[in-house]
Amino acid sequence: MKPLGVPVGFQKYSGQESTYITFHEYLQTGEEFEEDEEAFTGHYLQVDIWSKTDYTTLGGNVKTLLISAGLKRLDEADFYEPDTGLYHKGLKFYFLESKEV
């Protein structure tokens, strides 16, 4: 995420910038099994963009960066957080990790 030029924090951000990104893994689960052993693990990630201004370009750049890294986009949604005055975009992605059986 460094090429995006905005601060990034795992689960939370405690800096002073008004535009930033947080991320977390919300699910990790066995996806495929061979001979009762997990062959593939699915990693489901959420990336959240927080901003006081329009984040449309940043959202597109996040998608491009993660898709080019091999992640698949699942969905996304736009929100407004009235308690903080921040616009919030949640983007969900996943990737499969192959396990040696």
pLDDT tens for each residue of 9-39 = 999 999 999 999 999 999 998 988 888 888 8
Taking residues 69-95, report their average pLDDT.
Answer: 96
- 37: domain CATH number is 3.30.2000.30
Structure tokens given for 61: 């750049």
**Domain count of the fold of the chain:** 1
pLDDT beyond 70 at 101: no
- The CA radius of gyration of the chain, in Å to the nearest whole number, is 16
Enclosing domain of residue 56: 2-98
Other CB atoms within a 10 A radius of the CB of residue 90 amount to 14
- Mean residue pLDDT across the chain: 93
**What percent of the chain is predicted at pLDDT more than 90?**
78
pTM of this structure: 0.87
